[in-house]
Amino acid sequence: MIKLRFLLIVILFFIGIIGCSAEKGTQAKPNKISGMSAVVGNEPFARIALIVYPHKVYLINGPKEIKQKLIDHQGMYFNVKYSEIRDSANVHVINAYEAALL
């Protein structure tokens, strides 16, 4: 009986230690996507987008500076950092906060 209690206490001790430890590998990766900038749609409803292989299109929502940078460099590849992706009616919309030319 004493051995069973001792074994139970040791097991609970190790479970507590493992449960309270911090893992280094669980850090969140920055939300980043790479692709080619393009303008999609027809006037007056044209929008700036990032085209990612294979044929995935993400509309860009964000500050005017980022949109203008993507428009000025159409056909060039960018790394875009974003805060979230919204999906609605098969359209992916990225809330971008930074764009870097590759």
Residue 25 is assigned to a structural domain of this protein: no
d(CA 20, CA 16): 6
* Nearest partner of 99 among 36, 41, 55, judged by Cα: 36
**pLDDT at residue 25 above 80?**
no
d(CA 30, CA 84): 11
Provide CB contacts within 8 A for 101, sequence distance 6+: 69, 73, 76, 77, 78
Residue 37 phi, psi (nearest 5): -80, 145
Residue 63 domain-assigned (yes or no): yes
Provide the residue range defining the domain that includes 38: 32-101
CA-based angle 10:16:22, to the nearest 5?
Answer: 135
Answer whether residue 6 is part of any domain: no
Residue 81 lies in a domain: yes
Tell me if 69 is assigned to some domain. Answer: yes
Q: What are the pLDDT digits (tens) for 49-97?
A: 999 987 889 999 999 999 999 999 999 999 999 998 888 777 899 999 9
Is 76 part of any domain? yes
Q: What is the CATH number of the domain that holds 87?
A: 2.40.50
Q: Is the pTM of the predicted complex or chain greater than 0.85? A: no
Within a domain: residue 27? no
State the total domains in the chain.
1
